[in-house]
């Protein structure tokens, strides 16, 4: 590992250099800029493979390496080194970001072929990859925060890439502002950590939280506060309850953005933060329970919303929210859940990116139409898209032996493992995970059958056609991963064992429902929900105009009133507070200083009238002054006697 550790900074360097050339080179790079973007991402992926193979050949106990680059900050008691941490967790993210990111770059060459600003789009993609790699490779919370903010900036630029359309610009601003709310949690967590540990380096903080450093650490209450602040940050970045409202609107960006940022990478950053901070969570059992609750609420929330969306990208966005809820739930289950959280994150990155790219292929063949009620019967016209999306659909349903089965079923099984003294948790969270799987099967089957099954519902103006090879080849590769990746990594617990240098070894307890009966029960629910969707959206006639629906359906179409809730509880009071502060600033601060200035001006005007240029007037003023001084002196003398 030592022989190749020097390559690690180039993981960030290649895409960062690509972004710099494309942004600073201007129009001179328009003709070949997109290929430079692809090359930069590919170079990072190749570097990642070299480091991965080197780590695999290294003994497990030597797979956590902090590579110091230089001293970054030194002020007072704060000393922060800038470096990278290479371990199985960071390398998993490196390979996901660079490999899936490169496929999306290739796909974008064709998808954005007719956009006049394609070069700038690839610059932003490279910038995002560089920021995300900085986040996952950081060896301290402060450097992680730099990548965290860089990801937020790149996300803002990509969501609002077509900002000449007002809804797109509004969506970008909404995502940016809601993520800043979460960022305050990360800032507060760093402040608490530094106040109690005296460092923000992972090498100092995590052992302190685990109680491995004598004389350094904090109370359970303090670690609970730190963990809750980190959870707030994770909720903002990963679109978890209650900071999930931005994700659906973020689909305003080009479809490759949705695949890269809002399926495979950025929205998983919160899960990464939770697992990276595992010792802190374990030092705060109450915070762990809150993490599980947030994941459970979000996975049901996203699933219900996904059932009512007719926009294919927004339905997939709701699915992403729900699936990350599964990951967050697993991350809160302790050592036994960390491995499954990251395992599902990895398999989800493949099949969800494939589904988003498939949605982009459908839009490409349907003149950018996104309403699934105007699709139907597209399997004959888009056969490659149909097959690849079909494989991704089976993977997200968790059907054996597709990738999603190995990771999601692991989470469901883990959720059913009872906690000492709290048996209710196994039944509650296990049941939520099961119900979520059934709802997932329904809304994803709804999406699949509304798009490819049943009768055609599009106008004669549309002429469906398959996408070019630059788009379909990445979809095929992702589909292969959706089929085989989970099984390959699950054999003998390969993946969870791979993560043990970071997550530690955990004995998996016995679930309240034995494994195979639980698998059978899950498949019965999933297949039943899929058949229900087939009967309703493939066999029955689907109306082009959505019916009014039940109260729950209408609420789900409005995202369960999350925007209305945020506006009522946060935005409107914030506006009132802002207006009050502005009024106070104008009336008190500005009014006071302006009034004082006006008074001085008026006094000056009066005094200026005395300066009339006549000698007799000045002589009279001098005489008056002398008399006043003499009178005051006389009075003072009389008083003193």
Residue 567 binned pLDDT confidence (cut-offs 50, 70, 90): confident
d(Cα 527, Cα 206) in Å, to the nearest integer?
Answer: 43
Distance, in Å, from the CA atom of 482 to the CA atom of 474, rounded to the nearest integer, reads 12
Range of the domain at 591: 560-609
pLDDT tens readout for residues 63-107: 999 998 888 888 777 778 889 999 999 999 999 999 999 999 999
Helices (H) then strands (E): counts for the chain? 27, 2
Residue 385, pLDDT score: 97
pLDDT digits 0-9 by tens, 591-604: 887 888 888 888 88
What distance in Å separates the CA atoms of residue 261 and residue 157, rounded to the nearest whole number? 12
- CA 250, CA 486: separation in Å to the nearest integer? 29
Model confidence at 514, pLDDT cuts 50, 70, 90, reads: confident
- Residue 638 to residue 641: CA distance in whole angstroms: 5
Same domain, 575 and 615: no
Angle at 221 between CA 215 and CA 224, to 5 degrees: 105
Interval 229-240 mean pLDDT: 95
Residues 526 and 605 reside in one and the same domain = no
Are 618 and 482 in the same domain? no
Which pair of structure tokens corresponds to residue 557?
Answer: 């179409």
Query: What dihedral do alpha carbons 21, 25, 29, 32 form, nearest 10°?
Result: -10
What is the rounded CA–CA span in Å between residue 19 and residue 568?
40
pLDDT digits (tens, 9 = 90+) for 470-506: 999 999 999 999 999 999 999 888 999 999 999 988 7
CB atoms within 10 A of CB 634: 10
Same domain, residue pair 534 and 580: no
Check whether residue 171 and residue 89 sit in a common domain.
yes
Alpha-carbon distance of 415 to 326, in angstroms, equals 10
Residue 216: predicted pLDDT: 76
Q: Six-digit token pair at 38?
A: 């692809």
What are residue 67's DSSP bridge partners? 84
Q: What is the pLDDT of residues 375-403, one digit of tens each?
A: 999 999 999 999 999 999 999 999 999 99
The verdict on 476 and 532 lying in the same domain is yes
Do 546 and 619 have their domain in common?
no
pLDDT digits (tens, 9 = 90+) for 430-448: 999 999 999 999 999 999 9
462: pLDDT strictly greater than 90: no
Q: Are residues 601 and 492 in the same domain?
A: no
Residue 613 has pLDDT above 80, yes or no: no
What phi, psi does 70 have (nearest 5°)? -165, 165
pTM, rounded to two decimals? 0.91
Residue 571 DSSP one-character state:
I
Q: Is the pLDDT of residue 191 over 80?
A: yes
Per-residue confidence (pLDDT) for residue 574, from 0 to 100: 79
Cα of first residue to Cα of last residue in the chain, in angstroms, is 99
105 and 231 both lie in a single domain: yes
As given in the structure block, the two tokens for residue 338 are: 């960390």
311-341: per-residue pLDDT in tens? 999 999 999 999 999 999 999 998 889 999 9
Mean pLDDT of the chain: 92
> Where among 559, 575, 599 does a domain terminate?
559
DSSP secondary structure letter of residue 261: I
Taking each helix axis from N to C terminus, what angle separates 335-365 and 101-111, rounded to the nearest 10 degrees?
10
User: Which is nearest to 511 in space by CA: 446, 628, 453, 430?
Assistant: 430
Q: Per the structure, how many domains does the chain have?
A: 3
- Give the DSSP H or E segment for 199: none
């Amino acid at each position: 590992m030592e022989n190749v550790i020097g390559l690690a900074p180039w993981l960030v360097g290649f895409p960062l250099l690509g972004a710099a050339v494309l942004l600073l080179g201007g129009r001179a790079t328009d003709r070949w800029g997109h290929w430079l973007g692809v090359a930069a991402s590919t170079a990072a992926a190749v570097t990642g493979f070299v480091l991965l193979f080197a780590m695999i050949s290294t003994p497990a106990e030597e797979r956590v390496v902090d590579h110091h680059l230089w001293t970054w900050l030194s002020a007072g008691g704060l000393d922060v080194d800038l470096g990278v941490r290479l371990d199985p967790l960071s390398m998993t993210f490196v390979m996901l970001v660079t490999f899936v990111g490169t496929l999306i770059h290739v796909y974008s060459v064709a998808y954005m072929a007719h956009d006049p600003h394609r070069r700038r789009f690839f610059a932003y993609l490279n910038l995002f990859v560089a920021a995300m790699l900085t986040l996952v490779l950081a060896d301290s919370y402060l450097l992680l925060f730099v990548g965290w903010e860089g990801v937020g900036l790149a996300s803002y630029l990509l969501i609002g890439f077509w900002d000449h359309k007002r809804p797109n610009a509004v969506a970008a601003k909404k995502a940016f502002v809601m993520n800043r709310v979460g960022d305050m949690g990360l800032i507060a967590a760093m402040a608490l950590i530094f106040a109690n540990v005296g460092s923000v380096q992972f090498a100092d903080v995590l052992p302190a939280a685990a109680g491995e450093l004598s004389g350094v650490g904090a109370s359970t209450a303090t670690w609970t506060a730190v963990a809750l602040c980190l959870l707030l940050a994770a909720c903002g970045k990963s679109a978890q309850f209650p900071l999930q409202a931005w994700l659906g609107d973020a689909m305003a960006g080009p479809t490759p953005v949705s695949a890269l940022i809002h399926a495979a990478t950025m929205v998983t950053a919160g899960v990464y933060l939770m697992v990276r901070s595992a010792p802190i969570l374990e030092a705060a059992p109450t915070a762990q329970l809150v993490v599980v609750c947030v994941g459970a609420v979000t996975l049901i929330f996203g699933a219900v919303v996904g059932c009512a969306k007719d926009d294919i990208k927004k339905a997939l966005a709701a699915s992403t929210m729900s699936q990350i809820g599964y990951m967050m739930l697993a991350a809160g289950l302790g050592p036994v859940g960390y491995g499954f959280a990251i395992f599902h994150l990895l398999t989800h990155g493949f099949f969800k990116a494939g589904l988003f790219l498939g949605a982009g292929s459908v839009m490409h063949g349907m003149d950018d139409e996104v309403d699934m009620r105007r699709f139907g019967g597209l399997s004959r016209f888009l056969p490659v898209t149909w097959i690849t999306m079909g494989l991704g659909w089976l993977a997200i349903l968790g059907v054996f032996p597709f990738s999603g089965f190995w990771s999601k079923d692991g989470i469901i099984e883990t959720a059913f493992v009872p906690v000492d003294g709290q048996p209710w948790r196994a039944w509650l969270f296990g049941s939520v995970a099961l119900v979520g799987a059934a709802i997932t099967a329904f809304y994803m089957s709804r999406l699949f059958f509304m798009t490819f099954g049943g009768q055609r519902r599009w106008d004669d103006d549309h002429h469906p056609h398959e996408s070019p090879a630059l788009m379909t080849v990445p979809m095929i590769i992702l589909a292969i991963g959706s089929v085989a990746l989970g099984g390959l990594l699950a054999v003998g617990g390969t993946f969870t064992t791979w993560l043990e240098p970071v997550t530690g070894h955990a004995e998996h307890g016995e679930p309240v429902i034995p494994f195979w009966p639980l698998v059978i029960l899950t498949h019965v629910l999933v297949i039943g929900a899929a058949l229900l969707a087939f009967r309703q959206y493939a066999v029955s006639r689907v109306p082009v105009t959505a019916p009014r629906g039940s109260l729950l359906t209408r609420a789900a179409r409005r995202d369960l009133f999350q925007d209305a809730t945020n506006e009522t509880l946060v935005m409107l009071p914030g506006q009132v507070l802002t207006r009050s502060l502005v009024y106070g600033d104008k009336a008190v601060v500005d009014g006071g200083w302006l009034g004082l200035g006006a008074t001085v001006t008026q006094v000056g005007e009066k005094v200026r009238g005395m300066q009339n240029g006549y000698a007799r007037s000045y002589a009279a003023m001098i005489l008056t002054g002398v008399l006043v001084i003499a009178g005051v002196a006389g009075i003072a003398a009389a008083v003193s006697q």
